Structure 1
C-alpha cells in the first residue's frame, strides 16, 4: 500500500496547489477509488463536472462510480445532462 498512499498524497497536494487543474483532480479521484475511498473519489469528480460541465470523461467515470455505490438518482441526473449535451453519446446507447 505504501506507494499507492504516497501517490495519493502527492496527487492531493498537487490538487491543493492547483485547484483548477482538473487533470490532477481526475487522477486523484482514480487513485482514491483504487484505495476504496469511494465517497472521496466521487467528490473530486463532482467538482470537475461542476467546473467543466462538458467534461465527458469525468462525467462518465462519475456515473460509473455512482452506479457502484447504488446512487441511481444521481446517475439518472448525470445521464440526462449528458443526453442534453450529446444525444448520440455511446454511453447513452449502452445504458452504462
Structure 2
C-alpha cells in the first residue's frame, strides 16, 4: 500500500470507530431511560420493540392466519371429501 491508500484506510477506520461510539452512546442513553422507567414507574415502561425498534425489523414477519380462516378451509376440505364420496 502506498501512503495515500494508508491514509484512506486510516480515515475509514476512524469513521467506523466514530459510528460505533455513536451507536454505543445511543444504546447507553436508551438503557438509562429504561432504568429510570423501571425504577420510578415500571407500569409505564415501554416494551422491548418500542424501546429498540431495530429488533422488530430483524425478526421475520409471519402472516398470522385467523382461526376462522383455518376452520373454513377445514370445513371446505371435509365438504369436498363428502361430495366426492357421494358421487362414487
TM-score by length of 2: 0.25
Looking at both structures, which has the greater relative contact order when contacts are Cα pairs under 8 Å and sequence separation is at least 6?
Answer: 1
Rg larger in 1 or in 2?
2
TM-score by length of 1: 0.23
